[in-house]
Amino acid sequence: MAAFHQPAILNSGKYVRQQENQMYQKLNFSGDAFPLLFDGDVKLAMQNLNERLVVYRENVRSLENANAKLELKIKEWNEKRSPAAGSNCSGYFKVTEELQTKLQQAQIENARIALELDNCKLIAEHFRLKYNNEQSMRFGTENDIQALRHMRDNLTVTTSNLKLDIEGLQEDLIYLKKNHEEVMDELRKKVVNTVNVEVDAAPGPDIVKLLTDMRLQYEELVSKKQQEVKEWFEKQTEKLNIEVAVDMEQLNTNKTMITKLTQTIRDLEITLQNELNMKAAFETSLSDVKLQYDLQLKDIHNKIESVNAQWIKKQSKMKDQSHIHDELAKEIENYRSVLEAWEFQSQALDLEEETTEQSKRLKIKMIEEDVVDGKIVLSESKETAMG
């Protein structure tokens, strides 16, 4: 890059040149700005700098507006996510709650249907058990009837044996009567065939009376035995009936107790199954609600992380813009310093012209410098005297 300037021979002109070089190194203007600043076209340089300043100010203003909008959006988002705004759910939250309510109602309905199915199964099982119990009671009653029939048959056999004994005793009585009559006939015959000798003797025993007494005693003994056998049979029958009644009463009591206990167990099983079904339904509903809230919480965390990332990014961008703003402020300050130096140079040039007019001599010094990356790598100086 080549730079041309026209300093005065005076010390003031040298000072101005040094200040210009220092300002140039501080500002580090682009290749288009430096020649325009020092090749004599001051208006064009000022216009260029003013345009750049306007552009920088517009950029700063647009960035400030963007930052204000972003801060407003962040503030609105924080207000929407605050606890006070949480009570007033937005539209999609309301739709989500309605869907969750419908889902919970459907789950409760499914649980109710499952509970009714289980109740039907338990009722069917209850009737099956009741049928089995009734069948068992029927079999038990039939067995009891069969046992009573067997007992009745035994009593019938005993009665038959007693009747046979009575018949045997009656035959013995008939046989004894027959023998008695035969003996009486023989005695009568003997009495008829004997000689009637009248002697004075004591009267003999009355055989008829004796036989009558013997017969009466025998009949009394037979009736007594019959009465004893009858009483024994009645006592045994009554005792057996009492035992059967007691056993039947105990059996009925035990059956009633077993039926009540079975019904109680069945009711407790139905209640337990209902409680287990309700517990399973509530556990399923609780797991679904937990899953939904976990998903919502995860979504909220993701949104918060995204907003934080955006906020960090915006902060970084704001820092960059602030840095650019500081650089622009420094450049404007340097620009002001250059303007002040330029005014000082203009005053020095005016002074030099006055001095030249007095000495009627003009000396032009041309310095050619090559600058690379803000450093002077080559410098040439030429002086031309004009008189």
Domain boundaries, the chain: 113-189+207-300
pLDDT at 28: 44
d(CA 127, CA 121): 10
d(CA 161, CA 136): 37
Task: Mark residue 344 as left, alpha or beta (left: phi above 0; alpha: psi -120 to 50; beta: remaining).
Answer: alpha
Residues 354-371 as b or e (16 or more Cβ within 10 Å = b) = eeeeeeeebeebebebeb
d(CA 20, CA 381): 16
pLDDT at 70: 85
CB atoms < 10 A from the CB of 172, how many?
Answer: 12
Which residues of the chain carry a pLDDT beneath 70? 1-42, 82-91, 191-206, 348-387
364-385 confidence digits (pLDDT tens): 455 555 555 555 555 555 555 4
CA nearest to 17, candidates 381, 386, 385, 375: 381
Say what the pTM is: 0.29
- Cα–Cα distances (Å) from 145 to 13, 141, 150, 245, in that order, read 149, 6, 8, 13
